[in-house]
Structure 1
Amino acid sequence: MMNSTISLLPAALAMLGLASAAHAQSGTITFNGEVTSVTCEISFNGVIGNDPSIRLPTVPASALPEGASAGRTELHVHIQGADPVCSNGGITLQLDPRRAARLQNGRLANQALTVRATNAVVGLRDADDKPIDLGLGWISPPAPGTGDGTDIFFYAEYYADGGDAIPGVFQAPLQYTLMYP
């Protein structure tokens, strides 16, 4: 009798396990958010507007042997407006190359239509001087507000990729999005 009780014990425990596995649980997922009409005024290097044209300095091709960079230019993005979200900080800037840009090794490839500079790309660096790999996308850290606005800084520079740079013009678009907290 003792032997048959011991052999029934594993079967009984297995049945208890099946019984608990048969129970289901449900709940509610609540999504919260906000759609705003916030429009902040944005300027790039002091020029107000949503579609800036950033002029990089003219550099000689001799300054760009393969692997070198030249012509570093600061980009100062200033956001301000009547709505407190424009100046209280927390705004981030997302650079999204998938929407218009062509990339070469994480940098902006030249898309000029005439007399295109060869082996010259534009690389970006964050405010801490770390390279930005646009192949991965980039979102700035939340910018602190000053009460007079919010400021985001990064840098652009020519970079010789694929050989020494050959003279010509450079042009490359890059889409961006401001994200409010």
Structure 2
Amino acid sequence: MGLNMKKNTLQFALFAIFCAAGAAQASDGTITFSGKLTSVTCGVHGGEAGATGGNFTVVLPPLSTKALASKGAVAGSTGFNIVVGGAEDTGCTDGTKASVHFEATSPLINSASGNLKLTSDSTAANVEVQISDASAGNALINLFTNRTSTPVVIAKNTATLPFTAQYIATGVATPGTVNTNVQYSISFN
């Protein structure tokens, strides 16, 4: 065998050893995923009584920036509801629990605070919007880490999930418009 042939054989042998070493590594465990699909088909109605569809706007009150003059100051608490089902919504089964799941993919969620940052067309500064779960004593909802509301039991083919929203200062708030949004879905158990 020539020197080049020995080099090629040695290189091939080393390559085979490294490939086999990677294939011989043992797994450390298995992750199993499970879920549940339900036949519950409740309509979603947000905001004001008689509203249709799941898209709606919560109008926070106009406030003086004096109410939000320091980091952490909150003001303008405003209640709103998300209603599932209705009297004629027979697919919305009594006894089923409904909860709201705020989607982590919503681009305006501040991962540090769990609140909602303002859209780029907002003109106010140093303010975010905070959401609370009114059915849990107005417990704050960290939209980044704990995005699901307290479940509410469906009765007479409907359930109302109550929330509050409010301004929270991230510094000395400056005047202007406040706009933000969050995506959500309804979970049934």
Task: Letter of the 2:155 partner, please give it.
Answer: T
For 1:102 and 1:138, how far apart are their aligned partners in 2? 11
Structure 1 counterpart of 2:150: 141
CA 1:125–1:149 in structure 2 vs 1: closer, same or farther (change >3 Å)?
same
For residues 117-161 of structure 1, the C-alpha deviation after alignment (integer angstroms, 9 at most, x for no partner) is 110110111121222111204111220223151011111000101
Per-residue deviation, residues 48-90 of structure 1 (Å, max 9, x unmatched): 2211111111111111111211110111111114234355440
Runs of 5+ in structure 1 lacking a partner?
1-28
Partner of 1:126: 133
Matches within 5 A, 1:87-126: 87-103=94-110, 105-114=113-122, 116-126=123-133
Secondary structure at 2:144's aligned position in 1?
Answer: helix
TM (normalized to structure 1)?
0.72
Task: Note the 1:1-181 alignment, pairs <5 A.
Answer: 33-34=36-37, 36=39, 38-46=41-49, 47-66=51-70, 67-81=72-86, 82-85=89-92, 87-103=94-110, 105-114=113-122, 116-127=123-134, 128-161=137-170, 163-181=171-189
What is the rounded CA distance, in whole Å, between the counterparts of 1:42 and 1:112 in structure 2? 27
SS of residue matched to 1:63: helix
Identity among equivalent positions (%) equals 21
Distance 1:108 1:32 in 2: 29
Q: Which runs of 5+ in 2 are unaligned?
A: 1-31
TM-score by length of 2: 0.70
Q: Which has the larger radius of gyration?
A: 1
Task: Figure out how many residues of one structure are paired with residues of the other and give that number.
Answer: 150
| Alpha-carbon separation, structure 1, partners of 2:114 and 2:36 | 33
CA RMSD of aligned residues (A): 2.4
